[in-house]
Amino acid sequence: MIIIADGGSTKTNWCLLNKSGQKIYFNTEGYNPYFVSAEYIIDSLKKGLPSDLDLSEIHEVNYYGAGCSTEDKVSIVEDAMSAVFKNASIYVGHDLLAAGRALLGMDSGFAAILGTGTNTGLYNGKDISFNIDSAAYILGDEGSGCDIGKKLLKDYLRGYMPEVVRERFWDTYKLTPDEVTDNVYTKPLANRFCASFAKFVYDNNVHAEYSRNIVKTSFVDFFENLVTHYPNYKDYTFNCIGSVGYNFRNVLEETAKEYGMKVGKIIRSPIDDLVRYHVELAPRDAGRSPH
């Protein structure tokens, strides 16, 4: 049996192809090796994988994950996967490669991720050929859920929120400014904490203009600081995966067009297209190309 997985910083989508070719989907939390250890991943998988999954029957795992872009970070995830799926050959690739393969298949083009974090790159039909570092959630990740959440939280801390939004925020979360600061600066997984407030922006209908402006500013920053720095970026269609890009796709499409890019595919999750890539498009050893 084969497993294909797409892991973000918050959630991992899994697809098991069983012996009869049936696709079985399930989810666990996300495992970004910049923020979690191999031991953490092992423990989480033991708790989060379906209880009826026969691990001994899995002979191949293709895992694509946020943060899996350098050998040392890949090794963290590989060690964890090998400890859990003991009889399987393990391939760990980064989430941007998953985006390219899911969005473009065997074609070349531009691919982006807008989820908890941000990533962008040029894909040559097999691998990522050029990538500008997103600089992660403290320095960058413009356009991400974390970036949108940070903009909202800054307005809350500084008193810039419209009063009606501030009241709704308090009614929803009951967080004091000190508690916000504590969660961001002293508790683990601050990126997830910040990104969780993108849902508030999406759901907030008491001041639609304020919410839209936060999202628009974040997407403009994304294009200004990342997308427009790719050579001849206007020659590519804009393709994107991730819950933030998908949920705010009307604003994202508008912004892409303002920067001269035609819009291609914007999808929430790459898992179905990744499965198709591995089963129908790619040669059997495609997943195990060198890092």
CATH number at residue 94: 3.30.420.40
Residue 211 domain flag: no
Residue 69 domain flag: yes
Residue range(s) defining the domain that contains residue 283: 2-99+270-288
% of the chain surpassing 90 pLDDT: 75
Residue 239 domain flag: no
The answer for 242, left when phi > 0, alpha when psi is -120 to 50, beta otherwise, is left
Per-residue pLDDT tens digits for 139-172: 999 999 999 999 999 999 999 999 999 999 999 9
Residue 190 domain flag: no
Instruction: Measure CA 178 to chain center.
Output: 28
**Residue 283 confidence (pLDDT):** 54
* Average pLDDT over the chain, rounded to an integer: 91
Among 280, 242, 283, residue whose Cα is nearest residue 147: 242
Q: Which is higher by pLDDT, 221 or 285?
A: 221
Between the CA of residue 10 and those of 27, 49, 65, 217, what are the distances in Å? 11, 16, 11, 23
Residue 187 domain flag: no
Residue 53 domain flag: yes
Residue 89 domain flag: yes
Residue 31 domain flag: yes
**Residue 282 confidence (pLDDT):** 66
**Residue 286 confidence (pLDDT):** 47
The answer for 236, left when phi > 0, alpha when psi is -120 to 50, beta otherwise, is beta
Q: Is 19 exposed, middle or buried (0-12, 13-18, 19+ CB in 10 A)?
A: exposed
pLDDT for 236 beyond 80: yes
**Residue 114 confidence (pLDDT):** 96
Per-residue pLDDT tens digits for 14-62: 999 888 888 999 999 999 998 899 999 999 999 999 988 888 899 999 9
| The total number of structural domains that make up the chain | 1
Per-residue pLDDT tens digits for 90-118: 999 988 999 999 999 999 999 999 998 99
